[in-house]
Amino acid sequence: MPRNRMTIMVGGEAGQGVESGGAGFAKALARGGLHVFGLPDFMSRIRGGHNFYLVRVAEEPLWAHEDDVHLLLAFNRDTVDLHLHEVVPGGGIIHDSAVKVDPALLAKRGVQDFEMPLVKIAEEIGGHRIMMNTAAIGATAGITGYEFERVADIILTNFKRKGQEIAENNLKVARHAYDLAAERYSGSFDWKLAQVPGAPQRMLINGNQALAMGALAAGCRFISTYPMTPASSITEWLAAHAAKFGIVQKQVEDETAALLMAIGAAHAGVRAMTATSGGGFCLMVEALGLAGMTETPVVIVDAQRGGPSTGLPTRTEQSDLEFVLHASHGEFPRLVLAPGTIEQCFSSGFRAFNLAEKYQTPVIMLTDLHLAFATRTIDKDALDFRSLKIDRGELVPWEALNGQADGYQRHRVTESGISPRVLPGSEQAIYITTGDEHTSYGFITEDANERVQQMDKRMRKLEVAKRDMEPPIWYGPEEAEVTLVGWGSSYGALREATDLLNAAGVKTNFLQFLDIFPLDEALVTAELGRIRRMVVVEQNYTGQLANVLRVYSGRKADALLTKYDGRAFSARWVAERVKATVGVTVHA
């Protein structure tokens, strides 16, 4: 009988408590010492449409979702119609008595029918049908044999702010559904869940939360944004902690204003950021050039989604890479980071501020909807706060300017390209800077020699910054026939696909690009030179990382796997397509 290894899907309309139910059960599993990977999927509407929440659970660390579903909680008939084909033989569907399911259809697939009077339980035991999703979660725990105490913990935690009576009513509903489902169906369902005694406490966290934590640890005290999915929850997390940590949070009229306000705060010496998606970043492009010309350190998060235009507002994609590398007219340095895991979101969220101030230039972090919203359990010490050190670069104290014969030159030409930076506010630190080309003192100029000196100075930063860029990361055996190459949120699927392929007899490893720009050409060329067969896997149409790597190393991908339907990779999706070239079947 399989134990502590299964995938549960909660599905229904927006407004039926799909996400709260799925996320709540995921937390209950995590508190029981199990590893969890949670994936929300929702349409861009407030009510209606089809949403689902996928919960994968195991006793070992998980990196991605999987395609097979063992238990489907269907809050409406659409969920059955859309996802029945994903339920494995022997699996089951929990649904309310009012949701009619064709027994012949279930029998044909070998799927069990776990009909439950969920609405009736909610109304008679709890007093309101809105508690139907609580009943469904209780039934799930009952069928799988998971300890009710863990479910009760989450119910009390989630509902205590609504009052003791509501919390207790939800608890009664869950208990009644738990007992009834266990009595009726537990004996026929093979997959079981049980808490792991002595397991360490873990956090269940998503990429946006981790990134915001990293920014807070870095000393970010200002964020200005215009709401845009999937970046908005970065602002929400920082706003929720604003009073405790002294963060100024501004919701402004548009994305242009958001970046300009962040530039103003950074110019005054505050570690400042903004967060948006690709459509909002389009509106920031002119202001991005201003930050580049004035050498203002600012952090920008582009949480990618499907485009162009409004595109797929609540779907994932990796199609902004080449855009952010070249955004704004003219040429100026910018640094581009692309974290791929919860831990990397935290560390990149911290590093971005150090890099921005050290090199006095914009730093862009590329994430995407999948990384932003997917949750994963991590050990409590996985986010290493103790080793973090803030580096403000060439930040000169006011007193150091006393007695300077030639005065303060904000844009002084230096060998490194990094000029001494002084915060405004002192008589010794009065200076001009402008979006026009300028002299070392900041005065507007059209002199050809001054232009060349300032341009050379700014661009020299990229050569120095290469030393601070994280090299690509290898996973898997050192020698391999196939190397998967990816970036960003594909990390989890590609890591697990590497394991699947090796288990199937295809010697495979994986190379992740974490910091995308600037690239050290010699290093990248040497790393790619170790690859026998290079398969680049990306969530876009054109293979943007493959294009970048070919430009900087001359190495062309031997194969390109792309996906642009708005849905994230699974490990099996990748493995099956790689294996198709050698004719071996991969089993997840």
Query: SS in 3 state form for 455-468?
Result: HHHHHHHHHHHHHH
Q: State yes or no: pLDDT of 401 exceeds 90.
A: no
CA distance 432 to 125: 70
Residue 525 CB: number of other CB atoms within 10 A?
15
List the structure tokens of 303: 């949480």
Cβ(122)–Cβ(189) below 8 Å: no
pLDDT digits (tens, 9 = 90+) for 417-455: 999 999 988 888 888 999 999 999 999 999 999 999 999
345-372 mean pLDDT = 98
Pairing outcome for strands 69-74 and 87-96:
parallel
Q: How far apart are CA 468 and CA 479, in angstroms?
A: 27
Q: Identify the sign of the CA torsion 579, 580, 582, 585.
A: positive
What are 334-352's pLDDT values in tens digits? 999 999 999 999 999 999 9
- Tokens of residue 363, six digits: 């730093």
Spell out the alpha helix ranges (H) of 84-206: 103-109, 118-121, 132-144, 148-159, 164-185
Count CB neighbours of 194 within 10 A. Answer: 16
Taking the C-alpha atoms of residue 53 and residue 44, their distance in angstroms, rounded to an integer, is 15
Q: Which amino acid is at 454?
A: Q
Q: Sign of torsion, CA 291 295 300 306?
A: positive
Measured CA to CA in angstroms, residue 101 lies from 297, 357, 513 at distances of: 58, 60, 46
Using a CB cutoff of 8 Å and minimum separation of 24, what contacts does 181-188 make? 181/94, 181/114, 181/116, 181/138, 181/139, 181/140, 181/142, 181/143, 182/142, 182/143, 182/145, 183/142, 184/114, 184/116, 185/92, 185/112, 185/114, 185/142, 185/143, 186/142, 186/143, 186/144, 186/145, 188/112
Judged against a pLDDT cut of 70, whether residue 585 lies above it is answered with no
Over range 252-261, report the average pLDDT: 98
pLDDT over 70 (residue 587)? no
Question: Is the fold of 6-199 the same as that of 473-579?
Answer: no
Residue with tokens 């003791």: 164
Bridge-based pairing of strands 35-41 and 375-379 is: antiparallel
Quick one: what percent of the chain has pLDDT higher than 70? 98
CA distance 254 to 259: 9
Mean pLDDT of 15-38: 94
pLDDT at 588: 42
Q: How confident is residue 384, by pLDDT bands cut at 50, 70 and 90?
A: confident
Architecture per CATH, domain 205-379, reads as 3-Layer(aba) Sandwich (3.40)
Strand-pair category, 35-41 with 248-251: unpaired
Distance of CA 122 to the CA centre of its chain: 35
Q: For residue 475, what is the DSSP state? A: E
pLDDT at 529 over 80: yes
What DSSP string runs through 534-558?
EEEEESSSS-HHHHHHHHHH-PPPS
CB atoms under 10 Å from CB of 219, counted, come to: 16
Mean pLDDT, the chain, integer: 95
Angle at 214 between CA 212 and CA 216, to 5 degrees: 70
- Statement: residue 2 has pLDDT above 80: no
pLDDT tens, position by position, 453-492: 999 999 999 999 999 999 999 999 999 999 999 999 999 9
| Mean pLDDT value of segment 146-157 | 94
For residue 304, the cross-strand partners are 368
Least confident of 156-170, 177-191, 229-243, 564-578: 156-170
Of 21, 352, 381, 359, which Cα lies nearest the Cα of 177? 21
pLDDT over 80 at 126, yes or no: yes
Q: Which amino acid type is present at position 243? A: A
Break the chain down into helix, strand, coil percent, rounded to 5. 45, 20, 35
DSSP-derived letter for residue 3 is B
* DSSP SS3 for 438: strand
Give dist(CA 80, CA 384) in Å, integer: 43
Longest dimension (CA), the chain: 91
What mean pLDDT comes out for the span 64-86? 96
Q: Are 38 and 21 in contact (CB under 8 A)?
A: no
Q: Where are the domains of the chain?
A: 6-199, 205-379, 398-451, 473-579
Q: What Cα–Cα distance (Å) separates residue 186 from each residue in 118, 144, 179?
A: 17, 6, 10
Q: What is the pLDDT of residues 299-316, one digit of tens each?
A: 999 999 999 999 999 999
Would you tell me how many other CB atoms lie within 10 Å of the CB of residue 353? 26
Question: Is 8 a residue whose pLDDT tops 90?
Answer: yes
List 302's β-bridge partners, or say none: 276, 366
Paired strand residues for 54: 9, 39
The answer to whether 363 and 334 are in contact (CB under 8 A) is: yes
The CATH architecture one would assign to domain 473-579 is 3-Layer(aba) Sandwich (3.40)
Look at the domain 6-199 and name its fold. Answer: Pyruvate-ferredoxin Oxidoreductase; domain 3 (3.40.920)
